[in-house]
Amino acid sequence: MNILPLVSVVIPTYARAIYIRRAIDSVLNQTYPNIEIIVVDDNGKGTAKQIETQRQLQLYIDKGEIIYICHDINRNASAARNTGIYNSRGEYICFLDDDDEYFSDKLERQVAVLSTLGKNWAGVYCNSIDKFEGGKNVFIQNKVSEDLLKDLLLCKTKFGSTSLMIRREVCMELHGFDENFYRHQDWEFLVRLLLKYQLKLVDPQRALIYYYVYKLNNNRPKGLSYLTYREQYLMKYEREIMQLEYGNLVYYYHYYSVARILLGNSCFKQGFFLFHRACSRKTPSVKDYFLILKSALKGLICYCKRNTNVL
């Protein structure tokens, strides 16, 4: 008799008590039977958010359907995922953000593929559907990649930690997520993983997870924090990136994309400075110049609206 491998699903949660039960229910409703669910509460013990989160989860805890772990203080999503990893027992580990949702056959389909792959494959990932407020759904499809590391560094990939199923031994070997990263944790983890292993796309023509997209997303960085977080990511892997034949293109893309964000947020000095840095890596196309000017115009309009005396 074949014993199905245990899958540990790690759900970090912070300030989303109203959504967490939907995420948990999507795991409990899986067609795959051998699962443990580890919820890591990163609100900080005794805070109002933690008390409300535990209240929402108490029935699951009492029924033994989840393992509930609470951080003494808020540490960040990377630390919460690591707590889940280190307390897991599964052969495979999955992650689920507390406001997202699995399709009912997500784990079954991923186990079926991963269990056939050799040890050079760290795990598998899948496509998703973005669910917007108002009912709009958008299928986010990844192409089967011949060089997934390159696609990741150039931001051509369209998946994050919720799409992953990773061998636990690989997570432990990589020491989990870098807890110094408050943004781009998925990118940072995946670069380390893809420098040593491969990942396989499961079911290229369909989705296996829902990402929920809200109009008011307080988790997004604002203004210059975009630059701070992106430079942290680029600086950590500068040596590895510049050893690649497309290294300058990686820096061009990231500097250029963040320059557009900064200009759109009315950070004109920093935005144009970063665009200049991008130009030192590659000559922009006519389209790129047009989009930079479009972002700057957007930022100018926003600035004028905030400062009516300028009008």
Beta bridge partners of 129: 139, 210
Task: State pLDDT tens for residues 211-265.
Answer: 998 876 555 566 677 788 888 898 999 999 999 999 999 999 999 999 999 999 8
Task: State pLDDT tens for residues 134-163.
Answer: 789 999 999 898 899 999 999 899 999 999
Task: State pLDDT tens for residues 86-100.
Answer: 999 999 999 999 999
For residue 305, what pLDDT is reported? 85
Under a CB-based contact definition with an 8 Å cutoff, are residues 105 and 192 in contact? no
Give the C-alpha separation, 265 to 252, whole Å: 20
Give the C-alpha separation, 99 to 213, whole Å: 9
pTM for the structure as a whole: 0.91
Element (H, E) at 230: helix 225-236
| pLDDT surpassing 80 at residue 308 | no
Phi-psi region of 203 (alpha: psi -120 to 50; beta: other; left: phi over 0): left
Task: State pLDDT tens for residues 18-60.
Answer: 999 999 999 999 999 999 999 999 999 999 999 999 999 999 9
Report the percent of the chain where pLDDT is more than 70: 95
Give the C-alpha separation, 165 to 7, whole Å: 9
What is the four-CA torsion angle of 13, 162, 242, 245, rounded to 10 degrees?
-170
Considering only the C-alpha atoms of the chain, give the largest distance between any 2 of them, rounded to a whole number of Å: 77
